[in-house]
Structure 1
Amino acid sequence: METYTMMRQFADSWGLLGFTLFFVGAIVFALRPGSKKMAEEAASIPLKED
């Protein structure tokens, strides 16, 4: 089996599954309870005076 064909089959199956799981995990992480306060604190960092 050629390397290109093998890599394409991997990307078509497991690669898509991996990226989908990563995307769903990122959404869950961003929308979890308590993340709003952390996001607001991170957004205000550039505006803080030293």
Structure 2
Amino acid sequence: METYTAMRHFADSWGLLAMTLFFLGVVLFVFRPGARKIADEAAAIPLKED
């Protein structure tokens, strides 16, 4: 039972912090300058003729 309590405490504190930092990192990565051009080029790849 002690292991469950320790894991629960870790998930409630550091796990939440890690998920929040990951989310903020993804948001910053998506909205960084120049991301739109790269995303538009990647989206057009299937439409290019060989």
TM-score (norm 1): 0.90
> What percentage of residue pairs aligned between the two structures are identical?
70
Aligned to 2:23: 23
Q: For 2:6 and 2:49, how far apart are their aligned partners in 1? A: 54
Q: CA shift at 1:4, angstroms? A: 1.1
Does 1:11 find its partner at 2:16? no
Q: C-alpha root-mean-square deviation of aligned residues, in Å?
A: 1.1
- The one-letter code sitting in structure 2 at the alignment partner of 1:42 is A
Identify unmatched segments of 5+ residues in structure 2. none
Q: Secondary structure at the match of 1:25?
A: helix
Q: For 1:48 and 1:4, how far apart are their aligned partners in 2? A: 53
Moved over 4 A (4+): none
Q: How many residues align?
A: 50
TM-score (norm 2): 0.90
- The one-letter code sitting in structure 2 at the alignment partner of 1:15 is G
Q: Secondary structure at the match of 1:32?
A: coil
Q: Secondary structure at the match of 2:37?
A: helix
Aligned to 1:35: 35
